[in-house]
Chain A
Amino acid sequence: KQEVTQIPAALSVPEGENLVLNCSFTDSAIYNLQWFRQDPGKGLTSLLLIQSSQREQTSGRLNASLDKSSGRSTLYIAASQPGDSATYLCAPWANQAGTALIFGKGTTLSVSS
């Protein structure tokens, strides 16, 4: 059974800092891994999807890396802004028949101005 752990659980930084969010998963046999953002009381917004054959994906100030063999992914946020404050969730999709995205508990980020 896939288990996902995200560290740290919460993070507070001043505006402008670069930061790294960590995600580890127990089943390395995955199709892909997605990073999502969730604002309080809202649904999830997809940020990046990394295919199992890829090492990283970039979108604007966000860069996600994937080390499938070690069961790890990181989300790098450059030059953080107050608008980045949210909970960030990672979700690998294990390549076993009938499974779906399994989520960690997320990292709650607070960026102060």
Chain B
Amino acid sequence: DTGVSQNPRHKITKRGQNVTFRCDPISEHNRLYWYRQTLGQGPEFLTYFQNEAQLEKSRLLSDRFSAERPKGSFSTLEIQRTEQGDSAMYLCASSSGTPDSGNTIYFGEGSWLTVV
């Protein structure tokens, strides 16, 4: 396994522009998660997929945010009309099985977004 891969690692964008992040999970992992983390805080849950189905979305995921996992493999997180408050690190993670199966969740290195 090559681990969870996220691209781009860093993105600087002007307020109002759209940005898209990509996550490639560990192969064969059926679950994929997106989190957001700001300085000094723990990661905050945004959404997760089981295969291609988006099973839960946090209230943090406003209508400017959309996530997809079209073929149950990679996922994209798009932020439309970015605001300065969107500046954060966006973390992707993946796991196999179900929560009670005791399988570890593996995180990527994150994608840093700076909105200027």
Contacts and interface: CB of A to CB of B under 8 A. Distances in A.
Contact of B100 (A4, A31, A42, A89): A31
A42 B109 contact: yes
B41 interface: yes
Given A34-B104, A49-B102, A103-B44, A44 B91 contact: yes
B106 A95 contact: no
Given A43-B91, A44-B91, A51-B102, A103 B110 contact: no
Interface string B91-116: 10100000110101111111010000
Interface string A50-65: 0100000000000000
A105 B41 contact: yes
A85 to B, nearest CB: 16
Contacts of A78: none
A112 interface: no
A27 B103 CA distance: 20
Interface in B4-58: 4, 33, 35, 40-45, 48, 55-56
27 contacts: A4-B42, A32-B100, A34-B105, A42-B110, A43-B91, A43-B107, A43-B108, A43-B109, A44-B43, A44-B91, A44-B93, A44-B107, A45-B107, A46-B104, A46-B106, A46-B107, A89-B42, A95-B99, A95-B100, A98-B56, A99-B56, A100-B45, A101-B33, A103-B35, A104-B42, A105-B41, A106-B42
Interface of A: 4, 31-32, 34, 36, 41-46, 49, 51, 89, 91, 93, 95, 98-106
